[in-house]
Amino acid sequence: MAERTLKLTLAYDGTRFVGWQRQAQGDSIQGLLEESLSRFDGASVVVHGAGRTDAGVHALGQVASVAVHFDHDVTTLQRALNAQLPPDVRVLSIAEVGSDFHARFSARSKTYQYRIRNAAIADPFERAYVWHLQEPLDRAAMERAAEALIGTHDFMAFQSTGSQTNGTTRTITSSLWRDSGGLLVYEITGDGFLRHMVRAIVGTLIDVGRGWREPEAVAALLERRPRSEAGATAPAHGLYLLRVDYH
């Protein structure tokens, strides 16, 4: 069979996983997909993900690409994969794409969502899915701080220590807070994200909401400040890779 490139769109509950990426120990989403797809292919396949979500981080629209040699149609393959995969990972769709498609390198932008329950008492059903914050938050200040992130900036202050990347400049096209079903949701779209960047941004925006720092502090952090000056990294379990857009 000739080689075909497939684009998979996935949703997963990241709770029990070591993250997207295959590791020496523990279950990863990449590992599960490679195992299933290799069984179809008869040879080892490598699955590329658009975003390498960390342990505990969820996805509603992760995109993965893979080159395969089998000739099952995409509907049959989707059904078979969903039958083989554990219920906390679902293949939402599969499309056949050009051989030059790569889930990460072809991506134009990614959108992450961070979910917060701002209430006196936590919801027992949400403990692995939202960050629960009891204290009152200054929404107007958080909105002003979120807006300051839009544009092309050096996000050095918002990356985790020791991350190696090709530069720390990224372009953010949307950064806003909104209400969704009683939750406080932060949504950010950009051409790329440094390691732990969204969670460091959320930690900093929440510092602003708590009145621990001024909204203007965010603009100052974008002037190549060290990581130690930004807020703490928000917990992984509130973060969702919402969607990946392509040209």
| CA 117 – CA 124 distance, rounded (Å) | 12
Q: Which is nearer to a second copy, 72 or 144 (CB)?
A: 72
Token pair of 82 as six digits: 């969903």
Of 7, 22, 58, 115, the residue at the interface with a second copy (CB under 8 A) is 58
Cα separation, 165 vs 163, in Å, equals 6
Tokens of 214: 């001024």
> Which one, of 72, 102, 110, 78, lies nearest residue 92 by Cα?
78
User: Could you say whether residue 154 binds a second copy (CB under 8 A)?
Assistant: no
- Look at strands 47-49 and 58-68 and give their pairing: antiparallel
Between 62 and 204, CB nearer to a second copy = 62
Binding to a second copy (CB under 8 A) within 175-234 occurs at 181
Compute the half-sphere exposure of residue 197: CA atoms within 13 Å on the CB side of its CA.
30
Q: Is 70 in the site for a second copy (CB under 8 A)?
A: no
Pick between residue 14 and residue 192 the one whose CB is nearest to a second copy: 14
115 scored as a contact of a second copy (CB under 8 A): no
Site string for a second copy, 26-55 (x = CB under 8 A): ------------------------------
- Among residues 102, 135, 89, the alpha carbon closest in space to that of 116 is found at 135
Q: Which residues are known catalytic residues?
A: 54
Query: Using CB under 8 A as the criterion, which residues of the chain lie in contact with a second copy when the complex forms?
Result: 11-13, 58, 82, 87-92, 121-125, 127, 129, 181
